[in-house]
Amino acid sequence: DKVLTELIEPYELRAAKLREFLEDVKPSLCYDIVPLVDPYGPSVTDPDLQCLVVSEETRRGGEAVNKKRLENGLLELALYEILLMKDPNHSQNEEEKISSSSLRQRLLGTLLRPPRQDPALPSRPYVIGLTGGTGSGKTSIAKLLGHLGAFLIDADKLGHAVYVPGGPAYEQVVAAFGAEILNEDGTINRKVLGAKVFGKQEQLKSLTDIVWPEMARMVKEQIREADAQG
């Protein structure tokens, strides 16, 4: 349930940064960084441990550790509570404390790495695909890119265009699913068609096998048009 889990750094990199920080603070100490495979780690099995550093947020976790230690026949640890560092520059949508979640949010909109040069790809036009669930912001991002000069291809609109009478998939869809999917004016009733394919893998595949190739062809036509416009 972490914010932007896709941008969480690998464990090895996080551990290396932690070691660098600790050794910078006090290089004379010996640091043993242990990967945790459960909520407790060695804190509930190591008899040599004496103290556990916690924050206000993690004190309950420290208390749970001590409860587990007592169950295991070990002495309780001294819980030493430290204050969390506040971030004076945090935004309204970020946590008040200094946190990796806020740092990941600030990466949004930045380039994580240079675009990969692939000799097999043409240098232009540069095609960006926007995808995501309902309410994820596709329309807003598309408008922003449009204001910057991008040529917009709306796949939803193309999806409607292939179904209209005279459209590239109209005849095939009617032939495959019958005249009962038609309205009185001859247009395809998308609700009726949707009911025919909803939850039916074979029917849905029959529909997508007709519609998607036509949509792909229309997209390629529009990409060529964008290229012609520069």
Half-sphere exposure of 1 (CA within 13 A, CB side): 0
pLDDT reading at 123 higher than 80:
no
Q: Rounded CA gap, 101 and 119, in Å?
A: 36
User: What is the per-residue pLDDT for 122?
Assistant: 75
> Do 42 and 86 fall into the same domain?
yes
> What pLDDT, in 10s, does the model give residues 24-79?
999 999 999 999 899 899 999 999 999 999 999 999 999 999 999 999 999 999 99
> Do 99 and 180 fall into the same domain?
no
pLDDT reading at 124 higher than 90:
no
Tell me the angle at which helices 190-197 and 201-229 cross, rounded to the nearest 10 degrees. Answer: 130
Here the CATH number for the domain that contains residue 45 is 3.40.50.620
Domain total of the chain: 2
What tokens does 201 get? Answer: 């893998």
> Do 100 and 177 fall into the same domain?
no
User: What is the per-residue pLDDT for 134?
Assistant: 85
Whether the full predicted model's pTM is greater than 0.85, yes or no, is: no
Model confidence at 83, pLDDT cuts 50, 70, 90, reads: very high
> Is 38 among the domain residues?
yes
| pLDDT, the chain, mean | 91
Find out whether 156 and 211 touch, Cβ atoms under 8 Å. Answer: no
User: What is the per-residue pLDDT for 95?
Assistant: 87
Question: Concatenated DSSP letters for 176-201?
Answer: HH-GGGB-TTS-B-HHHHHHHHTT-H
> Do 89 and 143 fall into the same domain?
no
User: What is the per-residue pLDDT for 230?
Assistant: 83
pLDDT reading at 184 higher than 90:
no
> Do 11 and 103 fall into the same domain?
yes
pLDDT reading at 155 higher than 90:
no
What residue numbers bound the domain in which 188 lies? 138-229
Find out whether 172 and 210 touch, Cβ atoms under 8 Å. Answer: yes
> Do 98 and 155 fall into the same domain?
no
CA proximity to 61, closest of 50, 73, 53, 49: 53
Quote the distance between the C-alpha of residue 229 and its chain's center.
Answer: 33
> Do 94 and 163 fall into the same domain?
no
Bigger pLDDT: 120 vs 30: 30
What tokens does 68 get? Answer: 């587990």
Is the preceding peptide bond at 125 cis, omega within 30 degrees of 0?
yes
